[in-house]
Structures are given as structure tokens and as C-alpha cells.
């Protein structure tokens, strides 16, 4: 009989990474690059303008040495990476409070700290939820506070994914806010480059099918969140986002047609990403100032 593996909690009992600080001048280049990726007619913001909600993800990037990447393309070591054997990582969701938007072209500071560690029992075994808290400052004031929830497991889990992809089916949501998209490998590659993400599930088809068991390249969870946030930015450009929360539920695959859609009401909006397979691959809630 195989030995029962130790509980995940045992690996992190003494793991207490301290806060770390980073700086970034917030140049306009990343915003211009993501604007081009979205096929916008021009850049979404210029020097001195507010950074669109969640577009701060294109800043404060870290580039580990190539030798420090694991077989899956993720860093083998990192300040907030828990010391689990056979670590598998997934971005589960997060929250963001925007007191006032960050401004492009102004130096900014980010202080990252460990928020919480929680072990939960899932369908395929134990999962470790790690919440990282980030405070962003400009001109000595906290402008934005973010929490990211990352879920880890030790070893591979057996996910439920379609065997084959239908790249012709198009979702037809009735929501008043809609944005259709069909992410292809080139788009995923460009987004990986913009976010310093070397995870092979987003660009290496043989790897993702043989090693991870997915039917195709996986669309980045953060990209789904950004597509949802495009809805209020495009449909209600004068309303400033005060807070938002999002949850990444089920993967979307390259070649599938997706729809970011939403319903505004009473100073807030409910957002989601749908395909012909699922109504809620990702969900978000936004409140306006």
C-alpha cells in the first residue's frame, strides 16, 4: 500500500515570508502594448492618465534566470511560493480597492506581503490557498490595495476538461454589455510576454496535452479578468471603478469563442466570461465611486 502523503499544512507550518518592496516608473509602453493586443484604435492611456483597472499587472514584473525555471516554465523558487513538493499552481481570483488610480509615468512603489494561508479539501484532494496582499503607493499615498488568491496542490490533479474543442460554436449572451473574443496562440504568446509569464500551458501545445491533460492551450486567467474589466471601461468610461472582485472558475482554451458580458445596475456591475460550454468561466463584481 502506498504511504499516505503528509498533509499540506505540514509543509508551511514554519513558512513565514516577510514583506518585500519593489519600484516601477510606470512607463507608457506596457499600456500601449496591451492596447495593441486588444486592437484598440489608440492607446488606452497616456502619460499622466489613470492606469485602467488591473492594467497595473503589466508592471513590477520579475524575470528569474532561465536556470531557475521548472519543467512547467514556472519559477522553481520565489518569495511567496510555498515549499510544496511537486507544486502545481493556479490563480483562483482576487480583490482590489482603488482609492485613487495609479498614474502613468509617475514612479510607484509596491509592498507585497503574505495575507493568509488556508488548506481546503477539494474534489481531487487537499488544496493550499495562499493570499498575497499588495499595496501600491504614489507620491507617498496608498492608491490601490490588491489581494490575489493562488491555489496550490502537491502533484497533479485530475481535472475535468473536454476531450476535443469546438472552435465554431459562438456564445450568444443577452447581457447589455458584451465583448466577443477568440484568443489564438499568437495572442496568448503576446500576453505571456507582457506579463513575464513562462508557464508552458499558454504556448506549448504538445506539453499542455501530454503533461497537463488539457485539450489545447489555456487562456490566461488574468486575461479573462482584464476582458471582463474592459466592459465598464468601454461602456461606462466616465464611471470610476472603486472596487472589484473576480473569480476564475473553469479554463477557456485557445481557439474557442468567448464572450465577456455584464449587467450594470445601481452603481455596480456583474460581469462574467461565457463560452458555448459554460456560462461562467470567470465572474467579477465591480462597484463605482
Residues of the chain with pLDDT under 70: 1-3, 156-159
- 132-136, Cβ contacts within 8 angstroms, sequence gap of 24 or more: 132/80, 134/110, 135/110, 135/111, 136/56, 136/102, 136/108, 136/109, 136/110
pLDDT per position as a tens digit, 204-221: 999 999 998 999 999 999
pLDDT of amino acid 2: 56
- Taken in order of first residue, the domains within the chain and their CATH numbers are 1-157 (3.10.129.10), 160-288 (3.10.129.10)
pTM, full prediction: 0.94
**pLDDT number for residue 162:** 83
pLDDT value of residue 35: 98
CB 149 within 8 A of CB 129: yes
Amino acid at each position: 500500500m502506498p504511504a499516505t502523503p503528509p498533509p499540506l499544512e505540514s509543509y508551511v507550518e514554519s513558512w513565514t515570508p516577510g514583506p518585500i518592496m519593489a519600484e516601477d516608473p510606470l512607463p507608457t509602453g506596457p499600456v500601449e502594448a496591451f492596447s495593441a493586443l486588444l486592437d484598440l484604435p489608440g492607446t488606452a492611456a497616456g502619460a499622466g492618465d489613470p492606469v485602467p483597472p488591473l492594467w497595473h499587472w503589466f508592471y513590477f514584473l520579475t524575470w528569474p534566470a532561465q536556470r531557475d525555471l521548472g519543467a512547467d516554465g514556472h519559477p522553481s523558487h520565489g518569495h511567496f511560493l510555498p515549499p510544496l513538493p511537486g507544486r502545481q499552481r493556479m490563480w483562483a481570483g482576487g480583490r482590489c480597492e482603488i482609492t485613487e488610480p495609479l498614474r502613468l509615468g509617475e514612479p510607484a512603489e509596491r509592498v507585497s506581503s503574505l495575507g493568509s494561508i488556508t488548506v481546503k479539501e477539494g474534489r481531487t484532494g487537499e488544496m493550499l490557498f495562499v493570499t498575497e496582499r499588495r499595496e501600491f503607493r504614489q507620491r507617498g499615498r496608498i492608491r490601490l490595495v490588491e489581494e490575489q488568491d493562488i491555489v496550490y496542490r502537491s502533484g497533479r490533479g485530475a481535472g475535468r476538461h473536454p476531450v476535443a474543442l469546438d472552435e465554431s460554436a459562438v456564445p450568444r449572451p443577452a447581457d447589455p454589455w458584451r465583448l466577443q473574443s477568440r484568443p489564438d496562440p499568437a495572442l496568448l504568446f503576446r500576453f505571456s510576454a507582457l506579463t513575464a509569464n513562462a508557464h508552458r500551458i499558454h504556448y506549448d501545445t504538445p506539453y499542455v496535452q501530454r503533461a497537463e491533460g488539457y485539450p489545447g492551450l489555456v487562456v490566461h486567467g488574468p486575461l479573462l479578468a482584464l476582458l471582463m474589466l474592459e466592459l465598464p471601461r468601454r461602456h461606462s468610461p466616465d464611471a470610476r471603478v472603486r472596487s472589484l472582485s473576480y473569480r476564475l472558475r473553469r479554463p477557456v482554451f485557445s481557439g474557442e469563442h468567448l464572450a465577456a458580458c455584464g449587467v450594470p445596475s445601481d452603481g455596480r456591475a456583474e460581469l462574467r466570461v461565457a463560452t458555448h460550454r459554460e456560462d461562467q468561466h470567470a465572474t467579477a463584481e465591480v462597484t463605482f465611486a
